[in-house]
Structure formats: C-alpha cells, structure tokens
Amino acid sequence: MDDMSLVPVSAVEEAAQALQSVIHTTPLDYSSTFTRLVGMEVFLKLENFQKTGSFKIRGAFNKIRKLPQKDQANGVIAASAGNHAQGVALAARMLGVKATIVMPEGAPITKAAATRGYGAQVILDGENYDDAYKKAVGFQKKTGAVFVHAFDDTDIIAGQGTVGWEILKAAPNIDAILVPIGGGGLISGIAIAAKSFNKDVKIIGVEASGAPSMSQALAGNAVCEIKDVNTIADGIAVKCPGNITFNIVKEMVDDVVTVDDEEIATAMLMLLERSKMVTEASGAVTLAALLAGKVVVPGKSKVACVISGGNVDVNMISQIINRGLAKTGRLVRLRTAVPDRPGALHELLSVVAQLRANVIAVSHDRLELTVPITETEVELTLETRDINHIQKIINELEQSGYLTQLI
C-alpha cells in the first residue's frame, strides 16, 4: 500500500467535518499590495488567525480525537519547537486528555508560556526539534503515553490537509499554492486535498535555506538527516523529514524552493508594514519566495500563500524591524568626534536638526582611546527618510568639519 492511499482525500474531508466546530475557517485574503509587487494575483491564507496562532491545532485535534479511550487515558506526548506544542496542548485540553510537551531549550518564551497556559506539562530539552524529539520518544517509552508526531502521521496529515480544503472551496480556480515545509505534514495534506479538487493546481513548497531537509531528500531520492539547521524560521527547522510525508511530497508536490533569512525577514517586515499583520518567520517563507522571484507561475495567475503561523517572539520582531529600517535607509548609526568642551555636542546636533533627521539615541564617550585626548567620540542613532537622506547628512557633517563613519 502506498502512502497516498494511507491518507485518502476522504480522510481530509472527514477531518474537515470533525473540525468544523473546533477551529476557525481562516480568511483567504486578496492582497492588492503584493499583487502589484509580483504581477500575480496574491491571496494570503491566514493561519496566523487560527486558534493557538497556527495551523497545528488542525492535525493535533484530528489525531487525539481518533485515539481509543484507553489510549486517551494514558495521555499524549509530543515534541515541538512551539506551534505543534500549542496545538497538542489545546486539543488535549478540549478532549480531556493529559499532555506532555518536550520543547528545545531555545524555543521562544512566548510559545513555551502559551503551551503551559493551555494546560500541558512542558519539558525543555535539546538544542533543536530533533533533540527534543529524541527526548520525547524516550519519555513515551517510560510512561506509555501516546506519541503525537508533529508531521509523519496519517491523522496529522489529514487534519493539516483541511487548510487546502478551505483554500479550494474559497477559490476553486486558484493556480498555485505555496506552502512552508518543515517535516512535510502541512504540504502533504494540502497537496492531497487541493489536487482532489483540481488536479492541475500547482503545489510549491518553500523551505528555509538553512534547513533544506526536504530538498536534500528529494535530490537524493531518500530521507536523510542534514547535519545542521540554522535559520530564524524555527517552526520549519527540521533536520529530517518524515517517511510518509517524503513519499507524498515526491509524488504530489510540483516544486520546492528555498529562501534565506534576509528574504524571510523582508517578507515579515512587509507583512507588518503593508498588511498590518504579525507573522512568524516560518509563516512568512511563502511570501518571501514570491517577493524574491523564486516562484514564477505563467500569466496572470492566482497564487495562494499559506501564512502558517503568527507566534513570533517580540524580541525577534524588534530586531527584524530595526534591521529592515536600516536596510532601507530609515534608521542609521553614525560615529564622529567633537571637541571636548561645553556646547560641542549641541553644535553637532544642530547640524543634524537642520537636515530634518530625528535623533533616537546619543552615546557620548570621553574615554575612547582611538580619538585625541582633546576630543570625545559620539555615536548617533538617527531616524532618516532613505539612503539619499543619510548620504546628505554625512556630506553636510563632513563639510562642517566632522569626520563621520557609517556604522
């Protein structure tokens, strides 16, 4: 029996019926902004608006609800970088089942706190998902709890496939669906559901270039474990895809592309600024692929980007905003020196003020050994309009006698 027959479309349809009163049917939102930018009609499937902030509740609930009563009595255990953890925790609470979740030690604080908030016991262990997975398997053997796999499980795949079911019901004439890939559960389910509606719809997977486990498996025609994962997209930072998911992806997914962290961060910032939408890095990879020109669908195509989650740490948002502002010339740090006498700093800031730059921070260091003893080093953080504005400020400062370095 092949893996596709283990997850027939009827299983996705049945999951959709069971989940109807449990989950949100998330919006498929047309974006005029991104349509204009990429030249294709762009729709965003907003799973960041889902309960727990990601699609994972779909598969988790579908899996746990189908467990025999005696298995439910033993409780469930899962390994997760965060979103699967929350999905399992909430699903278990809804169904009255005890849940234990093993998360990597570096999992975002918000995700660990939310998982505990849904009533699960949280164990922090390991550097990444794969380390947490090994710990969870050992714990499961000791306790007899049922292991709820994050992706390589037929009931999980069927539950995640309801995302594709909703997309095609809302837009039957969609030409392509872009889906994030970690272990492959989401894209496997979506491919099965979407292609049952329309066999011609293109299913395109998007991985982080720092965790290309599915790409490498496809290239070698075998599931293998990559040595290292290094990406801001922690939700898809998986060293080894599933066996079931690999076979489904190999047969049903039309292409897999990768995006780097800079491209992901740019997409996150644009979603925040243009669409007023908070997304996590793994949720933004699909839009990143479109914006970076990694995916080209012929003609005036209709493309759906699955925005798989919105559970991002606020510190990450702050870092991405500041990097994005610096990259586009709207935030800059400059270093210069002024005479070590009263009023010298005021004179420097007067030049900056005349050029209509907003001072965010000033660092004044009299002990810096690289400047003469009669001078003091000054670092300025400025809010600016663009790259040209920054260059104008540097030129004016130097004409006024301030040797200026762009940091």
Structure tokens at 268: 């996150």
What is the DSSP-derived secondary structure letter of residue 103? E
CA distance 98 to 92: 6
Active-site residue (options: 56, 63, 195, 302): 56
Residue 195 neighbours by CB distance under 10 Å: 21
Q: Strand order in 76-79's β-sheet?
A: 121-124, 99-103, 76-79, 146-147
* Pairing state between β 375-383 and 302-307: unpaired
Contact 176, 231 (CB under 8 A): no
Contact 105, 68 (CB under 8 A): no
- The three-class DSSP label of residue 111 is helix
Q: Which residues contact 348 (CB under 8 A, 6 or more apart)?
A: 336, 338, 378, 397, 402
Q: Is 56 a catalytic residue?
A: yes
Q: Strand order in 176-180's β-sheet?
A: 28-31, 41-46, 302-307, 176-180, 202-208, 255-259
| CA dist 177 → 52, 165, 172, 282, 302 (Å) | 23, 12, 12, 16, 9
N-to-C CA span, the chain = 60
β-pair partners for 364: 378
CA distance 80 to 86: 9
Catalytic residue numbers read 56, 308
